[in-house]
Structure 1
Amino acid sequence: MPRHLPMKPRVHPCGTGGLMLDVASGPFSLPAQRRLWALVGAAGPLSQWKSLRSVVLGVNNLLVMFDPLRTNPQALALELLQAWKSARPSRESGRVLEVPVVYDISRDSELEGVARHAGLDVSEVIRLHTSAAYHVACIGSVPGFAYLVGLPSDLSMPRHTTPRPKIAKGTVAIGGAQTGVIPMDMPSGWHALGTTQLDMFDPSRARPCLLAPGDQIRFIARSATR
């Protein structure tokens, strides 16, 4: 068993057929997320548990669904805690990808609003956003949407109070302390920084989601003509 665990996990019931393994303790913890990746990976213990109907990875949490008529939730909770303690994550578990972005430097753009909120020039916002190395914590909200952690704290910004009815596919945006790429036209309260031509989700591909938990992402600034 590893000597040092990121924090003490907790298991909460979610209805009659679900349990939430919550390992959050304050700000996002990458070591804790790596341990969750190890639990749900192809070689992880949860992939072998026949009693589970589904497993949903979150940001520093994990939801497991089961048949309450066939599974004892108290026993399953103990098994989850033991699996957490014995998980052996690798330091780097995913691919490294570059995402080219055309940042919207036009007047009155949302990028300009982010700059005002941060008290920075637009060029400094772009520099900070492209200087960070991000990890895909999980995929959620809609198919192909990757929650990327690692946003510089200066760029953290509350979401719009009222979500916009439509934000375009390929929009690179900030929401709270995270960043991400919108995989399809959809409502969103995140702040748009620019756009990318990379397709985050394509159901016709053998691997529909371009990104996966554990992948590392870097944004690369590109001009609109490239």
Structure 2
Amino acid sequence: MRVYLLTGIDATKRRLHYSGQLSALLLEPCPTGSNSLCGTQGKRVKFAYFLVGLILVAGVGGVVAIMPSKRDRFQARVRAEARQQGLIVESVRLPRLILRAEDRVSAGGRLRKTSRMCVRYRKRFTRRIDHAPTWRLLRDPSSSTPIVGWRADDDEIRGVNLFQSEFWQAMEALLRDAPQECWGVQALEDSSAWLGTEEPGAASFDAAALRMSKFLDRLEGFHATFSIG
């Protein structure tokens, strides 16, 4: 068995050689009086065109595959606009609250992830709020405590309990304006947060970012009202 080691020049010459052969194959005419795709040569020409077409399709397919979708472009513009309005954009994981058996274990017996990625839009308070409670609510259609359709994350609650009806009734009124793509809301010591995803809809990207910013402003006001002074 012979082994050929090609230098850069040799490799270039070989590529040019094969390129020339392909060009000659495509341009070489058939014998006079014969069919345009004659015999073996016709088959070779067809095969050569097939290879060229395959290369073109693969190239175009690769470009299409890396192009961002409409949803990706919308998300990028919403996040850029949100940053312009002073919001902090972060990626976080939220637990999946409603899980079927097939959501927990795959058909092959492998455990599935019981959490999902989402985006957290966080806005720092415009003023200091002392002794304010911290909490996180997650959307859960099966829950009725502390709010219908929302469940409190027990690990994130400080300074308030599930039986303070006045607090949760006021929060329920605030959450009526939360869009379906909002999976959760959170109050931290220095900021309020909106958790979820961005979906292209009737609202433009700047309107979507402005809506989140205004919602977080209202959440800050609510947070200050129920601070423990």
Higher strand share: 1
- The alignment's TM-score, normalised by the length of structure 2, stands at 0.23
Bigger Cα Rg: 2
- The alignment's TM-score, normalised by the length of structure 1, stands at 0.23
